[in-house]
Amino acid sequence: MPHDHGSSADGAAHKGHGHSQSHSHSHGGHGHHHIDPEAGDRKVAAAVGVNLLLTVAQIVGGILSGSLALIADAIHNLSDAMSLIIAFAARKIARRPADAQMTFGYARAETVAALVNYTTLIVIGLYLIYEGVARLFDPQPIAGWTVVIVAAIALVVDLVTVALTYAMSKESMNIRAAFLHNVADAMGSVAVIVAGTFVILYDWQIIDPLVTLLIAGYILWHAFTEIGGVIRVLMLGAPPDMDSAEVLTALREVDGVCDLHHLHLWQMEERETAVQVHVVVEDSRWSEAAQIKQRLRDRLADMGVSHATLELEQATHACTGAQEIGHAAA
């Protein structure tokens, strides 16, 4: 949670009066795990198992057939298994309660896991481009039937994994990262089958590195599309669907509010939005502070804010020269 330097500057002026702080939590429909956690864990564990078995089969098939596309698919599939292991561990850590060291809890372990998985996808994509370009200049013969059979088995396993993680991917950027690993791999398996078929029918050996480059491009497109949202959460950015200026406007409309400053709006995690703000109340209405605070809580809850810290200041003792959004660097 951001530290607000402004509150320390005006602390002495308040001297215990004209200053009220409130924390509110309204989780409502923002719960992170709608699916039974243990059932979800079993699905992820099953997906890890089938992906590890598939990786071994694809690598053996790629070596026997000489297909770079199949080996590329195997490497990506190994990253699928690793991404699922990371996602599994993050889910376990994220459910730990808050403690003295992690006062907001461990939920962001899933966000960190998502960053690791998307970064891995980018590295894999770039590596496959390097290998694909090298093979374009030095085509190698491949055994088409071996490629098609192994890739077909891989596609079945990929689709099973996608089915296991689809529902959870809607609620967690962590699981979504692992899910996209597998979607990309399923697309890769289809592409490898097509490549093998062309080798069987027309002996087009060049199709193998071309398909490798297509797989790489698809991986990179997905990774770069999703990683921005993960970085936004880790950088304490405002939710993409919520504008700080609009939040200020909405809170100013609350009856009894004179002014606002030091607004911080950020995502605690993917589905939890937090607000911290100083609220100035007219001296003549200070006796209504509790009611004004409740109206602010209600307005924020309507906007989807699940964690609010409201610091009320009597106009006489309010911060002077404070900026509306954020706080000045110390």
Tens digits of residue pLDDT in 296-327: 999 999 999 988 999 999 888 888 778 888 87
Cβ atoms of 313 and 281 within 8 Å: the answer is: yes
Domain with CATH 1.20.1510.10 in the chain: 32-234
Question: Nearest CA to 219 among 90, 132, 151?
Answer: 132
Question: What pLDDT, in 10s, does the model give residues 102-141?
Answer: 888 888 898 998 899 889 889 888 988 998 898 888 777 7
What is the pLDDT at residue 292? 93
Under DSSP, the state recorded for 325 is B
Question: Nearest CA to 77 among 114, 112, 47?
Answer: 47
Cβ atoms of 158 and 178 within 8 Å: the answer is: no
CATH node for 5-29+238-317: 3.30.70.1350
Confidence band, pLDDT 50/70/90 cuts, at residue 22: low
Question: Nearest CA to 158 among 71, 86, 50?
Answer: 50
What is the pLDDT at residue 33? 42
What lies within 8 Å, CB to CB, of 284 at 6+ separation is: none
* CATH match for 32-234 among 1.20.1510.10, 1.20.120.80, 3.90.1150.10, 1.10.287.1770: 1.20.1510.10
Domain with CATH 3.30.70.1350 in the chain: 5-29+238-317
- Supply the pTM of this predicted model: 0.73
| Burial class, 140, CB count within 10 angstroms (exposed 0-12 / middle 13-18 / buried 19+) | exposed
Higher pLDDT: 235 or 188? It is: 235
Average pLDDT of the residues in 74-96: 81
Q: Where do the H-state alpha helices sit in 170-243?
A: 173-202, 207-234
Written as one string, the DSSP assignment of 98-154 is P-SS-TT-STTHHHHHHHHHHHHHHHHHHHHHHHHHHHHHS-----HHHHHHHHHHH
Cβ atoms of 215 and 69 within 8 Å: the answer is: yes
